[in-house]
Structure 1
Amino acid sequence: MSLRLATFNVENLMNRFDFSGFRNQLNQDRTLALFDIKTEAEYRVLEQARAIAHSDDTRQLTALAIAATRADIICMQEVDNVEALKAFEYGYLFKMVGQGYRQKYTTAGNDSRGIDVALMMRDETAHGQPIEFVRMTSHAHVTFEQFGLHTPELAALGQEPHERIFRRDCLEIDLKIGGAPLTLYLVHFKSMGSPRNGLDGRAATMPVRIAEAQAVRRIIEERFGKDHAADKHWAICGDMNDYRQRTLIDGDAHTGYRFDVVDESQSCLNVLLAGGFCENVVERRPELDRWTLYHTRGPQERHLCQLDYILLSKGLAAQNASSVPDIIRSGQPFRTPFPPGQEVDRFPRAGWDRPKASDHCPVAVTFDII
């Protein structure tokens, strides 16, 4: 029986307003920065109007991207709560796919902004096999000390042994697909952030993501047994905020873009992929065609990279050696430079920078569960 599984960071699917930008300019939307706003009351009114106007186009594009995955199950990141998910599914996605993702699951994690991992799934696969929810287990409470993962590098970042490992959660969801067991691990690792202590944001926050990856692997090994875990039916899905390769971009639209693939010596992904524990099936695509995000801080710092992953257990990957994932890029804004041959028709109303479906692209793969 086959299942189509997807993951997508939907970028701030919120059902509340963020007024912190009045006191913290780093959180202020650039539109409001154009205006001289005298009072917090005035700011709140304008922020509500801006957010509502901006959200409608954005969520239409988000829904189009999800519909394009044709997924039976979609793992999501940056979801405010289940009520936000229900409102989005009913108000936007339903208009495109009809009665589809009736089952929705999430739980409050550790993120300071309240953005969590979540899951939506159909009652049955496209081939008519029932999808049954069995149980859901949060691991948001696990500390560095509990798992013996506290290191001097973490201490240097101000992380204490008693603090929680996961920036959001590692949400473990047990399912049955046509009666066959499948376990999903939904994650959203620590973001890279800004440069600090003489290091770029990625290097400075790497110890946290490595600890998160180590914790995920330990949870799986303890669940299935260290000697047998790789052969069981499970997948790790989510935004890991890290990459093993990136494609550096040079040039411009007038002179032409140049793309150069660079391997990274260190990545938290290596913890999970070591020893063939699982496989990043996106690496079955050509090197230039694995990216799920365009990063830029201006013309001097631009690259494409994979931040969004479906890692299949060694057993599942071996059983589906010919399965190649799809990456849905039609929701990207027009500022994103595409390598030659990868250009797509953008969804209606996609803008130069925004609106867009998300800053990330959904990843989807079809595989058999034997």
Structure 2
Amino acid sequence: MSLRIATFNIENLMSRFEFSGFRNQLKQDRVLRLFEVRSEAEYQRLEEARTIAHTDDTRQLSALAIAECDADILCLQEVDDMAGLQAFEYGYLFKMVGSGYRRKYLIEGNDTRGIDVAVLMREETRDGEPIVCTNVRSHAALTYADLNLHTPALAALSLLPSDRIFKRDCLELDITVGGRPFTLYVVHFKSMGPARDGLDGRSATMPVRRAEALAVRRIIEDRFGAGGGQAAFIIAGDMNDYQDRIDVTGDRRGGYAFQPRAESESALDVFSHDGFAENIVRRRPEIDRWTLFHSRGPQERHLCQLDYLWLSQALARSNPDAVPEIIRQGQPFRTLFPPGQAVERFPRTGWDRPKASDHCPVVATLDL
């Protein structure tokens, strides 16, 4: 009996307009900077038109990426609200996959922009086995003090013991597939952000992500015992950190070079250092694990994995040959692919936009 499960940061599936760019140029879309905008009302009118025109292409591409996954259970990040999720499923996904994802789960989390994690599920697998969610629990209210996870490094970031651990949530779902149970944890860890205090953005914010990973592990161990016991669980989502990356150098005329590099430290070491869970994307070749192309211009470019399916020891042992797929057809043409990895992009994909997302979906077929 097999189950296909995917995770996808769908990138700002919003159901509202964002007008703060009129006063804050850092939040203003680049195309509007080309025009003289005389009033806030005029800015709002132009921003509405730009957003609507851009969003239709983007969501067609997002839906194509999801259809390519062909997953029974889909974990999403950066979803505004249930109304927006339902509108996307009905207006875009339904046209490509039919009435596949009838069951949807979303609980409002802690993100200041209002983006949440969500789960979409089919009523049964491709093999006809029923998929049933028996319980859903949010852990958004947990504080550092609740789990005794506050540290001097967090205090240096002006975070208090009473502050909430998860920057979005850790959404816990108990699911049975054909009567066989497993537990799914869906997360979206703290983003890396800009450099601060002499540290790059990743290093500066790593204490926050480490605390989030420790909290996920504590939640699992408090329920199933040390090391997760023999439980079948999956930790899925955008974790905004990596244990290795591929540095990209060179240029279009002279050619590009792709150099893998292991990181000495990662917040995700919390899961891997003692075999608590396995990142099964690491079963792919080192050069072929990336789910995001990061670029701040020619001087700072790399490919890395930010999107994960971590399997419990029990699930990893029972799926020794499961190798995830990474759906890259929705990546924009500015993304630099290592040799031999190029794919045919979805129709209407642009140089930078439209695109399915800045992230690539990750999907795996598992035997429960």
Aligned partner of 2:73 in structure 1 is 73
Cα distance in 1, alignment partners of residues 20 and 69 from structure 2: 34
SS of alignment partner, residue 77 of structure 1:
strand
Query: After TM superposition, where is structure 1 displaced by more than 6 Å over at least 4 residues in a row?
Result: none
> Does 2:348 match 1:342?
no
Offset at residue 273 of structure 1 (A): 1.4
Structure 2 distance, partners of 1:360, 1:256, is: 24
Number of the residue aligned with 1:9:
9
CA distance in 2, matches of 1:145, 1:121: 34
Equivalents in 2 of 1:333, 1:163: separation in Å? 37
> Which residue identity is paired with 1:200?
D
Are residues 1:212 and 2:215 paired?
Answer: no
Give the equivalent residue in structure 2 for 1:26: 26
Aligned 8 A contact 1:230 1:277 in 2: no
* Identical pairs, percent: 65
1:31-46 matches, within 5 Å, as 31-46=31-46
Counterpart of 1:315?
314
CA distance in 2, matches of 1:266, 1:301: 20
User: What is the aligned partner in structure 2 of residue 264 from structure 1?
Assistant: 263
Q: Report the CA distance between 1:231 and its aligned residue.
A: 2.1
- The superposition leaves residues 274-293 of structure 1 with CA deviations (integer Å, 9 ceiling, x where unpaired) of 21111000000000000000
Cα displacement (A) at 1:230:
4.2
Q: What letter matches 1:77 in structure 2?
A: Q
The aligned residue for residue 125 of structure 1 is 125
State the match for 1:279 in structure 2: 278
TM-score, scaled relative to structure 1: 0.99
Residue deviations 1:206-238 (CA, integer Å, cap 9, x gap): 0000000000000000111225x2421110000
Aligned-pair distance for 1:298? 0.3
Q: Any idea what the Cα deviations from partners look like across 1:54-74, whole Å, max 9, x if unmatched?
A: 000000000000000010000
Query: 1:222 matched to which residue of 2?
Result: 222
Question: 2:25 and 2:230 mapped to 1: Cα distance?
Answer: 49
Distance 1:335 1:92, change over 3 A: same
Q: Which residue of 1 aligns with 2:289?
A: 290
- For the residue of structure 1 that corresponds to 2:135, the secondary structure is strand
Superposition pairs for residues 54-65 of structure 1, below 5 Å? Answer: 54-65=54-65
The answer (yes or no) to whether the contact 1:123–1:131 under 8 Å persists in 2 is yes
Cα deviation for residue 35 of structure 1 reads 1.2
Alpha-carbon distance in structure 2 between the residues aligned to 1:275 and 1:287: 21
One-letter code aligned to 2:135: R
Long gaps (5+) in structure 2 = none
Q: Give the C-alpha shift of residue 99 in structure 1.
A: 1.1
Compute the RMSD of aligned alpha carbons.
Answer: 0.7
SS of corresponding position for 2:146 = helix
Partner deviation per Cα, 1:67-122 (whole Å, 9 max, x = no partner): 00010000000000111111001100111111100101101000000000000010
* Amino acid aligned to 2:75: C
The CA distance in 1 between the partners of 2:163 and 2:36, in whole Å, is 41
**Count of paired positions:** 368
* Per-residue Cα deviation, 1:292-319 (whole angstroms, up to 9, x for no partner): 0000000000000000000010100010
Counterpart of 1:231 in 2: which secondary structure?
A: coil
Matched ranges for 1:97-246 at <5 A: 97-226=97-226, 229-246=228-245
- Give the C-alpha shift of residue 272 in structure 1: 1.1
Structure 1 gaps of 5+ residues are none
